[in-house]
Structure 1
Amino acid sequence: MDNLLTIILSATAIATFLNILLKRFNIPTIIGYIFTGFAIAYLFELGRNNDSLTHVAEFGIVFLMFTIGLEFSIKHLMAMKKDVFFYGLLQVCLVGGVIALSAEFLFGIEKKSAIIIGYALALSSTAIVLKIFNDRGMIHTVYGRKALGILLFQDIAVIPILLMINIFSNQESSLSTLLLQTFYSVVIILGLMFLIAKYVLNRFLSLVVWADTEEIFIAAVLLFVVGASFLAHMLGFSYSLGAFLAGMMMSESQYKHQIEADLVPFRDLLLGLFFITVGMQIDFNLIAQNYGMILFSLALMMVFKTLVVFGILFFSVGGRVALKTGLALCQGGEFTLAILALASSSHLISPTVSQILIVTVVISMVMTPFILKNMKKIVDAMSQEPNNGDFMIHSSGIKDHIIVCGYGKLGQEIVYRLKKMNVNYLVLEHDINLVKLGQSRGEPVYFGNAAEKTILKNAFVENAKAVIIAINNEKKLILLCEILKSFNAPIKIVAKASDYDEKKLLKSLHVKHIVNEGREAAKALLKVAMEEDEALLSDK
């Protein structure tokens, strides 16, 4: 027990300080976690091929797959269908197919292993690319949209790749038998998920929300995620597939945004554990013996992936946009690491090949922030095409709207007046009864705790004209103002102060638009009283 606590404390300390250091160089936390795992394995002489580490790694991916499923929108995909299903399919098939053939015929790798390696290396890092694109405002450029579409297809492609690992690792049955069993299992799991989503999920979550206990709500969501993962595993699929389906079930729920906000810390923590376990599996001696092959594989993978994306996009969007998209997607990704780890544990890939490929992918991920930061310089040096294809694409999200936090009596009055003024608005409310009341009136009232950054992002707070806080709880009011102030964009906050102390607190947070409840009520009462007096005098 003491040794376990020592390992946990050491891992936490190393990860914290290392990520603070790496953040100065814009290197993502994923890399810090991987180096932490490597350091822990070296310091405490932990075994690399450990079954318990594999289970922890897959459990981290379970929550990543769940959040992807939670954000999975058929409407969104159809709006970007060409970017997703045409360019994304071409990229995965071309890169995966060519690498698989090269691995089999040039390096003598067995066919099944070559297929897994090829399609694993076709994937890019959704976590790194989209985070940097969002932070730098690049997501709304043409190349940002193309990269997003291809990444979405790559996320979907993870499912059949994981299914291939299941089929290839089962040596006891013929391929036709496995496919037939897989078909039956797919029908069973999709049928059960459909029935649960239609008849059980919303009713169960309504009861949980009615209990008004946050930890029970989180526990209920975890129950569905882990339960769906376990069901998928019992039917012969990976835990990750079950989590993905659970996310899709909950994506249609009115509690979607609150679920996402509550589970982000779990996802990030468990993903941190996953990448630590990846780092723990790196063998330094093996790297020293194969550094030439690692560097060769790195250069070949990054150049080839860039050229494939450049080739499929060149004729539709021009050289500059195609090259920028290719550079953005040239690295391996977190799912590449997960697939390689799972394939290695299933004995589809030898430990040596797995180590070489994992290190190659890790180095490519370390290089990505530097490539994206200097993308314009790289493209300017390589392309003579005029810079006319990098224009911004407007976000599909709403803008210039009013966000009302709270749908109590005051919130309802504000909404009534906004409707009369024909102002675009939406409401965030944490009381499910008030949410149902607003929705029964046909008003855009959404369930979620407004004092959570993810919820506010989903409400496009940075594009809003103003945020009106109609909450009576002082602690929630102050917390919400603090969170709103943490956004980079200047957000107009309109808040109600009950007394002088509350007004003082709001001013200390630099809230400029404060309505004094007592003063405004006094003005209104006196105004009505004086109007009545004047009316009486005029009658006389």
Structure 2
Amino acid sequence: MVNTLELVLALLAGAVLVVGIFRSLNLPPVLGYLMVGAAVGPHAMNLMPDTGGARYLAEFGVVFLMFTIGLEFSLPRLYSMKRIVFGLGAMQVLASIVLAMIAGRIGGLGWGAGFALGGTLAMSSTAILSKLLSDRLELDSRQGRETIGVLLFQDLAVVPLLILIPALSGPADALFDTLALATAKAVALLSLVLFFGQRVMRTWFFYVARQKSAELFMLNVLLITLGLAWLTEIVGLSLALGAFLAGMLISETEYRYHVEEDIKPFRDVLLGLFFVTVGMFLDVGQIILSLPAVLAMLAALLVGKFLIAGAASRLLGSPQGTAARTGLWLCAGGEFGFVLLSQIDEARLLPPALSQVVVAALVLSMLLAPLIVQASEKIVLRLVPSEWMSRSLQLTSIATQSMFVDKHAILCGFGRNGQYLGRLLEQEGITYIALDLDPERVREAAAAGETVVFGDAAKRETLMAAGIARASVVVITYADTDAALRAMSMVRACRPDVPVVVRTADERDLEKLQEAGAAEVVPESVESSLMLASHALALVGIPLPRILKRIREIRAERYHLLRGIYRGGEHLHEESLEERQQVRLHSVPLEAGAYAIGKSLAELRLRELGVEITAVRRQRIRVVDPVPETRLELEDVLVLLGTPSQISSAETRLLKGV
């Protein structure tokens, strides 16, 4: 018992340490689990020589993974993407399998082993690629939709592959009968479960949810998932198929999102254990001895899948640049390759040495996947000469929109927030140019007369074409903080002095965005809270002027640039005595003979008077939040923030030194 406890603690400590390191380096955690498994396995420290029980427990990780795939299964979504999913996706998987079968036959493998190997290598990483697409704002791009469509087909293809691979280990003369029987069982079970199951599942979940017990709801999900997995195993099929069916049934109910959140901790932990058990069979010494074979397999995997996916995309009518990008996105291996490889090992379809080579090649390809995606644009420009012309036309389109405008606003992102902002700017007579990466949104908005063009705000050439050198403000409306930081970094590189306003979901990233150079950060959570509070206070009887005053005070504390306004003389007779003593902004130009010329802000000690210098304008350049070391020059304009009496004292000191 002590040894078992020590082993569990060692596994947990290793997993926490290694996965934490991998996440901090933005590497897929699956690779960390594989490394932990390799360290404790029989080929290294040999902490787990008997792995039968652990492998059986780890199989439940695959069960919950297939369950979540079933939850995401959507017939309407499949229908809307049928051309990509069942066209491009099917071509990519089938061509990979056929090519592997031919190569395997040449290398002395049987057809069954080649088929299983092809299915393993055909898989790409849904977890890695979907996150990269989201981070790079390319989910709605053409290559993004093609990548997601292929990944969706790969997820679906795992189900029949899990049925076929065990059948391939039988005698060759009985293969057809085995496959026919397995297919008949799967079809009968699918028909029975889908025909009767949906109605029963919806009614059953309604009664369970009506009890309003989170514990009961979770127990019910586990019962259905493991019960259907047990049922499919009883009839001679895989546990994963039953879990997939359970997910499909629940996906048709209104409880799917609740179930997905509840099941996620079980799936992630058990799937991590599965990858640990896969890593246990990695023989690092054997892999080093077979390093040339590993590198050859890695090259064959990357080049072969790139050519297959790119050619399939081209056959379906995609431009050369899009086809090349799709091929680069999909060329690496994926986590489902390890799932299928565990089935291949159990069926003994591949020699152990070759299995080690395949595992090592998959691990290396997944490590390389983010780097390949990051370099994809440069690779495409080298491989596809016509892409230069396409890029030039895109930049010309952007430059055409910005050619005759000056002091305009550049909106990075034209989603809901960008469109509302654009309308406000238009009503105030301010010209704007919006950059967006959703081609459908750009097409519809441009057709309606909006000044929006297709372009990536994180690229220097796009910002230059949009007239960043002449822009008066840049507004970044991205919901994703990393994407906003990339765009802001490029804006700062192109023009450091232009003010940048950034939207963020909440206050967690406020300081990070401010440190990156944002003149103002607007957290949506703060604004929604202010609106909720104002309505609630009004409904409980608080006078409206008092509510507005409170909201102004909160905003003044939160938003630096919104503190104070410039008040003209025509407003003085409208203000109450209290309003006249509120903080305001006031501009003080430094003309010849002014005391402050040549002195630093620190030397003037204006903060002692209760006044803050919010900006300094010099030669048409406005510097927000000047540093204390800033030395003032002739014709500088200082923007002061304070009460009228404080501003009067500060102005006297600036001009006369008193």
Please say whether Structure 1 and Structure 2 have the same fold, judged by a TM-score greater than 0.5: yes
Question: What is the CA–CA distance in structure 2 between the aligned matches of 1:141 and 1:86, rounded to whole Å?
Answer: 18
Structural RMSD (CA): 3.1
Deviation at 1:12, TM superposition (A): 2.1
Q: Name the counterpart of 1:414.
A: none
* Structure 1 residues 97 and 490: CA distance shift in structure 2, 3 A: farther
> Are residues 1:23 and 2:47 paired?
no
Question: What is the CA–CA distance in structure 1 between the aligned matches of 2:199 and 2:100, rounded to whole Å?
Answer: 45
* Structure 1 residues 47 and 290: CA distance shift in structure 2, 3 A: farther
Q: Name the counterpart of 1:78.
A: 79
Deviation at 1:196, TM superposition (A): 4.8
Q: 1:31-110 alignment to 2 at 5 Å? A: 31-41=31-41, 44-46=45-47, 50-105=51-106, 107-110=107-110
Question: What is the CA–CA distance in structure 1 between the aligned matches of 2:151 and 2:198, rounded to whole Å?
Answer: 30
Deviation at 1:47, TM superposition (A): 5.2
Q: Name the counterpart of 1:374.
A: 375
Deviation at 1:523, TM superposition (A): 2.0
Q: Name the counterpart of 1:362.
A: 363
AA of the residue aligned to 1:163:
I
Aligned partner of 2:539 among 521, 533, 540: 521
CA contact (8 A) 1:70 1:256 kept: yes
Deviation at 1:168, TM superposition (A): 1.5
- Residues 231-289 of structure 1 show CA distances to partners (whole Å, capped at 9, x for unaligned) of 11111111111111111111101101101111112111111111111111101221122
- Residues 89-116 of structure 1 show CA distances to partners (whole Å, capped at 9, x for unaligned) of 11111111011111112x1012211111
Question: What is the CA–CA distance in structure 2 between the aligned matches of 1:386 and 1:274, rounded to whole Å?
Answer: 43
Question: What is the CA–CA distance in structure 1 between the aligned matches of 2:234 and 2:169, rounded to whole Å?
Answer: 16
Deviation at 1:137, TM superposition (A): 1.6
* Structure 1 residues 110 and 35: CA distance shift in structure 2, 3 A: same
* Structure 1 residues 353 and 386: CA distance shift in structure 2, 3 A: closer
> Are residues 1:492 and 2:530 paired?
no
Comparing 180-189 with 85-94, greater Cα deviation is found at 180-189
Question: What is the CA–CA distance in structure 1 between the aligned matches of 2:152 and 2:220, rounded to whole Å?
Answer: 28
Deviation at 1:26, TM superposition (A): 2.1
AA of the residue aligned to 1:192:
L
Q: How many residues align?
A: 429
Comparing 515-524 with 330-339, greater Cα deviation is found at 515-524
* Structure 1 residues 312 and 519: CA distance shift in structure 2, 3 A: closer
Q: State TM-score, norm by structure 2.
A: 0.60
CA contact (8 A) 1:494 1:514 kept: no
Q: 1:377-416 alignment to 2 at 5 Å? A: 377-386=378-387, 388=390
Question: What is the CA–CA distance in structure 2 between the aligned matches of 1:240 and 1:364, rounded to whole Å?
Answer: 25
* Structure 1 residues 325 and 486: CA distance shift in structure 2, 3 A: farther
AA of the residue aligned to 2:353:
T
Q: Name the counterpart of 1:536.
A: none
Secondary structure (helix, strand or coil) at the match of 1:119 reads: helix
Q: 1:446-525 alignment to 2 at 5 Å? A: 492-493=524-525, 511-515=529-533, 519-523=537-541
Deviation at 1:156, TM superposition (A): 1.3
- Residues 204-226 of structure 1 show CA distances to partners (whole Å, capped at 9, x for unaligned) of 21222122111211110111111
- Residues 110-131 of structure 1 show CA distances to partners (whole Å, capped at 9, x for unaligned) of 2211111112111111121112
AA of the residue aligned to 2:531:
H
Q: State TM-score, norm by structure 1.
A: 0.73
* Structure 1 residues 40 and 47: CA distance shift in structure 2, 3 A: closer
Question: What is the CA–CA distance in structure 2 between the aligned matches of 1:137 and 1:525, rounded to whole Å?
Answer: 45
Question: What is the CA–CA distance in structure 1 between the aligned matches of 2:299 and 2:89, rounded to whole Å?
Answer: 22
Question: What is the CA–CA distance in structure 2 between the aligned matches of 1:350 and 1:177, rounded to whole Å?
Answer: 25
CA contact (8 A) 1:57 1:338 kept: no
More helix by share: 1
Question: What is the CA–CA distance in structure 2 between the aligned matches of 1:517 and 1:79, rounded to whole Å?
Answer: 41
* Structure 1 residues 194 and 289: CA distance shift in structure 2, 3 A: same
Secondary structure (helix, strand or coil) at the match of 2:387 reads: coil
Question: What is the CA–CA distance in structure 1 between the aligned matches of 2:532 and 2:37, rounded to whole Å?
Answer: 49
> Are residues 1:352 and 2:370 paired?
no
Question: What is the CA–CA distance in structure 1 between the aligned matches of 2:297 and 2:379, rounded to whole Å?
Answer: 21
> Are residues 1:139 and 2:135 paired?
no
Q: Name the counterpart of 1:426.
A: none
Which stretches in structure 1 are left out of the alignment for 5+ residues? 392-397, 401-460, 464-481, 497-510, 527-540
Question: What is the CA–CA distance in structure 2 between the aligned matches of 1:341 and 1:49, rounded to whole Å?
Answer: 16
* Structure 1 residues 111 and 53: CA distance shift in structure 2, 3 A: farther
Q: Name the counterpart of 2:253.
A: 253
Deviation at 1:201, TM superposition (A): 1.3
Comparing 78-87 with 312-321, greater Cα deviation is found at 312-321
- Residues 473-523 of structure 1 show CA distances to partners (whole Å, capped at 9, x for unaligned) of xxxxxxxxx996669996634899xxxxxxxxxxxxxx4434168743342
- Residues 6-58 of structure 1 show CA distances to partners (whole Å, capped at 9, x for unaligned) of 22222222222223322343211111111111122266404578333432332
Question: What is the CA–CA distance in structure 1 between the aligned matches of 2:268 and 2:506, rounded to whole Å?
Answer: 22
Secondary structure (helix, strand or coil) at the match of 2:236 reads: coil
* Structure 1 residues 250 and 373: CA distance shift in structure 2, 3 A: same
Question: What is the CA–CA distance in structure 1 between the aligned matches of 2:35 and 2:287, rounded to whole Å?
Answer: 14
Which stretches in structure 2 are left out of the alignment for 5+ residues? 395-414, 418-477, 481-503, 511-520, 545-658
Q: Name the counterpart of 1:293.
A: 293
Question: What is the CA–CA distance in structure 2 between the aligned matches of 1:486 and 1:7, rounded to whole Å?
Answer: 38
Secondary structure (helix, strand or coil) at the match of 2:533 reads: strand
Q: Name the counterpart of 2:162.
A: 162
Question: What is the CA–CA distance in structure 1 between the aligned matches of 2:49 and 2:385, rounded to whole Å?
Answer: 48
Secondary structure (helix, strand or coil) at the match of 2:90 reads: helix
* Structure 1 residues 237 and 119: CA distance shift in structure 2, 3 A: same
* Structure 1 residues 95 and 184: CA distance shift in structure 2, 3 A: closer
* Structure 1 residues 518 and 186: CA distance shift in structure 2, 3 A: closer
Deviation at 1:79, TM superposition (A): 1.0
* Structure 1 residues 175 and 314: CA distance shift in structure 2, 3 A: closer
> Are residues 1:2 and 2:2 paired?
yes
Secondary structure (helix, strand or coil) at the match of 1:332 reads: coil
Question: What is the CA–CA distance in structure 1 between the aligned matches of 2:11 and 2:65, rounded to whole Å?
Answer: 21
Q: Name the counterpart of 1:213.
A: 213
Question: What is the CA–CA distance in structure 2 between the aligned matches of 1:301 and 1:170, rounded to whole Å?
Answer: 28
Secondary structure (helix, strand or coil) at the match of 1:68 reads: helix
Q: Name the counterpart of 1:317.
A: 318
Comparing 44-53 with 276-285, greater Cα deviation is found at 44-53
Question: What is the CA–CA distance in structure 2 between the aligned matches of 1:375 and 1:172, rounded to whole Å?
Answer: 43
* Structure 1 residues 292 and 518: CA distance shift in structure 2, 3 A: closer
CA contact (8 A) 2:85 2:150 kept: yes
CA contact (8 A) 1:209 1:217 kept: yes
- Residues 142-179 of structure 1 show CA distances to partners (whole Å, capped at 9, x for unaligned) of 11111111111111111221111132234498234324
Question: What is the CA–CA distance in structure 2 between the aligned matches of 1:37 and 1:90, rounded to whole Å?
Answer: 34
Q: Name the counterpart of 2:152.
A: 152
CA contact (8 A) 1:48 1:281 kept: no
CA contact (8 A) 1:91 1:150 kept: yes
* Structure 1 residues 142 and 196: CA distance shift in structure 2, 3 A: same
Deviation at 1:383, TM superposition (A): 2.9
Deviation at 1:353, TM superposition (A): 1.6
